[in-house]
A and B are shown apart, each in its own frame.
Chain A
Amino acid sequence: MADPRRIDLVRSPHVEAASHLPLLPGSNVAFINAMAHVVVTEGLADEEFLRERCEDVDPYLEFIRRDENSTEATAAATGLDPEQVRAAARLYASAPNGSIYYGLGVTEHSQGSTMVMGLANLAMLTGNIGRKGVGVNPLRGQNNVQGSCDMGSFPHELPGYRHISRPEVRAIYEDLWGVSLDPEPGLRIPNMFDAAIGGTFRGLYVQGEDIAQSDPNLQHVRAALTSMELVVVQDLFLNETARYAHVFLPGSSFLEKDGTFTNAERRLGRVRPIMPSKVGKDEWQAVCEIATAMGFPMHYDDAAQIMDEIAATTPTFAGVSLERLDREGSMQWPVNEAAPTGTPTMHVEQFVRGRGRLVPTVFVPTTETTNRRFPLILTTGRILSQYNVGAQTRRTANSTWHPEDVLEIHPSDAELRGIRTGDRVELSSRVGTTTVTAQVSERMQPGVVYTTFHHPVTGANVVTTENSDWATNCPEYKVTAVQVAVANAGRPGDAADGAADGAELVGSRPSGASR
């Protein structure tokens, strides 16, 4: 278990990690390189797998053997005990089956893509890919992230991960719909905001996402939303983004939806409505009506017809239909002529691209560094009882368990600042400032603080930066340099004992003075 915090999975009633590696935020790539370095230098690599299934092996081995990737050399970045890293690498490499599960947060670093390549390298090095019980498995952040990615939600791809520049792929849709498609990549979300402020991006249709709370550097997001000429929000609830909407379209819940959700093992599961949509329309019907009003008569009789079009246009979904899913149960894509009942395990004989390519994963640290003004690293995350920005769960009794976002801080960092559990503290970064309630916690390591982003009143993303993954532009939510201090009027009742002067509060209060 590698996580900066001692999370519940490290030890809970039914789970105990053999090893918890409390690495410093931002050092993932240094860590995974150290793991691979141990595997290679101690002769634990699967030579046969490398020879028969992989390519670019020698340049990678030359890179990973270098001293800069040793457990000792990377310790400065990771903060990890070299012996513990070696033990973890031996444990993974020598297991009959070794599988890697990684959280969504891995991608939320300026080297997120490099880290995923590093994980793939490690799996290939040890031959842990392409059979049951092994592999590199992302734990998705939302129930249907896989499904929406499969359907071409990237600005440069059509469904089935096919690049928009390919004329033969565009032709499939152009012939079917009688239109011509732009062959160029579109903008990613953060770049849409920049273009909106720049005046070249004037309208946005947001479905089921609360960008005015979930995206980094919220001041910037709000400036962008107010710059646009038309913001359409379609959601189950009037969320934070709806404040900026010119048009609000009601959405529907999963209990009213007809279709499929796809999980991280590429499994398409049926979603069936248990009740008709309360708003009298399915979400896809709203899309069809907007398209029709804009001059393209888009019509489907039902969700099954949409799935039929997906199957007809996307090779990996060729054998999928709602009727078949109803009859035979869930299926894992690709479902096509080569795999009529689906594909439980991928990369069995060879990888999709042929041979697995080993990529040297040089550790390039983030530019978001600590200094005297911002000496702590903030990492943000989610907890079990609230979902993402809480648009749905804050409206339920779950809020009894998690009524507000709290800042977890190590006892030594708290003591240095005169902070006790329950204090209101000011959390500042190079980008912004917010206030939040502190919770002193030994789950944290010194120098690292943590908070959730479930509540708009906290607005944890007011402090997160513009930094993003070099390849995907995924925001770096996991590494923000911050300072924490007791806020003015930080404690209930403080004003009465005359100690509410902010200047006196920071670090200078005799312990227990007010309680």
Chain B
Amino acid sequence: MNGQSVDDPNPAAPDLADPDLADPDLDAPTDADPVPDQGPPTGDDVDAQERQHQPADLRMGHDIARAMAHHPPERAAEEIATHLRKFWDPRMRATILARVDRGEPMDDLLRAGVELLREGEIDPSEVRKPSGG
């Protein structure tokens, strides 16, 4: 802004006519509060505010994709599909499948997982043992 660098020994007073300073973007991340950079990157760049108004299947789908993104892509897609088959109500599975059919924007990994979901049934070996105890 105004060509000043942080090393400028004599910084001028902030120019309040500068729209960035007069009307700062309070929702932008700051240096003190960085956007999380740990963990695997995903294509989901929806911000924290927008997320609160996202449909649940998309929000939850992206959470699952982020949790699986550390696997190689094929394995990650399988894990996502298995999770959706085991734990999602058929209505929610149908909703997210329809989004893929309509070509709605979503994380590539999530899309790959949903495509796999379409192809197969639940693998009996995944549910053979009790999940608890």
**Contact pick for A365, options B38, B56, B86, CB 8 Å:** B38
Is B35 a contact of A156 with CB atoms below 8 Å?
no
In the bound complex, CA of A365 to CA of B127 (Å): 29
Q: Check if A185 is an interface residue, CB within 8 A of chain B.
A: yes
Q: Check if B73 is an interface residue, CB within 8 A of chain A.
A: no
Q: Check if A431 is an interface residue, CB within 8 A of chain B.
A: yes
CB contacts (< 8 Å) of B51 on chain A: these are 367, 465-467
CB contacts (< 8 Å) of B83 on chain A: these are 471
- Whether A470 touches B66, Cβ cut-off 8 Å, given contacts A162-B130, A369-B36, A371-B33, is yes
In the bound complex, CA of A162 to CA of B46 (Å): 36
In the bound complex, CA of A369 to CA of B55 (Å): 20
Q: Check if B52 is an interface residue, CB within 8 A of chain A.
A: yes
Q: Check if A87 is an interface residue, CB within 8 A of chain B.
A: no
| B97-133 to A contact mask, C-beta < 8 Å, 1/0 | 0000000000000000000000000101001111111
Q: Check if A353 is an interface residue, CB within 8 A of chain B.
A: yes
- Whether A431 touches B38, Cβ cut-off 8 Å, given contacts A185-B86, A369-B33, is no
Number of A-B contacts (CB under 8 A): 135
Is B88 a contact of A185 with CB atoms below 8 Å?
yes
Is B38 a contact of A68 with CB atoms below 8 Å?
yes
Closest to A367 in B: B48
Is B39 a contact of A362 with CB atoms below 8 Å?
yes
Distance (whole angstroms) from the CB of B24 to the closest CB of chain A: 7
In the bound complex, CA of A316 to CA of B48 (Å): 43
Closest to B53 in A: A466
| B39-54 to A contact mask, C-beta < 8 Å, 1/0 | 1100000111101100
**Contact pick for A352, options B26, B63, B133, CB 8 Å:** B133
| A357-371 to B contact mask, C-beta < 8 Å, 1/0 | 000101111111111
CB contacts (< 8 Å) of B56 on chain A: these are 190-191, 194, 466
CB contacts (< 8 Å) of A362 on chain B: these are 39-40, 67, 70
- Whether A352 touches B28, Cβ cut-off 8 Å, given contacts A185-B87, A185-B88, A375-B33, is no
Distance (whole angstroms) from the CB of B55 to the closest CB of chain A: 7
Q: Check if A155 is an interface residue, CB within 8 A of chain B.
A: yes
In the bound complex, CA of A473 to CA of B130 (Å): 20
Q: Check if A160 is an interface residue, CB within 8 A of chain B.
A: yes
Sorting the interface of chain B by its residue count into under 10, 10 to 19, 20 to 34 or 35 or more gives 35 or more
Closest to B44 in A: A367
In the bound complex, CA of A76 to CA of B34 (Å): 11
Closest to B42 in A: A364
Q: Check if A71 is an interface residue, CB within 8 A of chain B.
A: no
The SS class assigned to the A binding surface is: loop
Is B48 a contact of A468 with CB atoms below 8 Å?
no
In the bound complex, CA of A371 to CA of B34 (Å): 8
Is B26 a contact of A156 with CB atoms below 8 Å?
no
| A244-274 to B contact mask, C-beta < 8 Å, 1/0 | 0000000000000000000000100000000
Is A481 a contact of B59 with CB atoms below 8 Å?
no
In the bound complex, CA of A473 to CA of B64 (Å): 10
Q: Check if A187 is an interface residue, CB within 8 A of chain B.
A: yes
CB contacts (< 8 Å) of B35 on chain A: these are 369
In the bound complex, CA of A481 to CA of B32 (Å): 14
**Contact pick for A165, options B89, B91, B122, CB 8 Å:** B122
Q: Check if A373 is an interface residue, CB within 8 A of chain B.
A: yes
Q: Check if B30 is an interface residue, CB within 8 A of chain A.
A: yes
CB contacts (< 8 Å) of A346 on chain B: these are 133
**Contact pick for A185, options B33, B67, B89, B124, CB 8 Å:** B89
Q: Check if B29 is an interface residue, CB within 8 A of chain A.
A: yes
Is A186 a contact of B89 with CB atoms below 8 Å?
yes
Is A163 a contact of B38 with CB atoms below 8 Å?
no
Q: Check if A157 is an interface residue, CB within 8 A of chain B.
A: yes
CB contacts (< 8 Å) of B64 on chain A: these are 470-471
Is A371 a contact of B36 with CB atoms below 8 Å?
no
- What would 4 more interface pairs be, CB under 8 Å, given A369-B35, A369-B48? A161-B132, A316-B130, A371-B33, A372-B26
**Could you write out 15 A-B pairs with CB less than 8 Å apart?**
A156-B87, A160-B130, A161-B130, A163-B131, A187-B91, A190-B56, A191-B89, A200-B91, A346-B133, A352-B133, A353-B129, A365-B36, A365-B39, A372-B30, A430-B49
- Top 6 closest pairs, chain A to chain B, by CB: A365-B36, A163-B127, A161-B132, A373-B26, A470-B63, A161-B130
- List residues of B whose CB falls within 8 A of some A CB: 24, 26-30, 33-36, 38-40, 46-49, 51-52, 55-56, 59-60, 63-64, 66-67, 69-70, 83, 86-92, 122, 124, 127-133
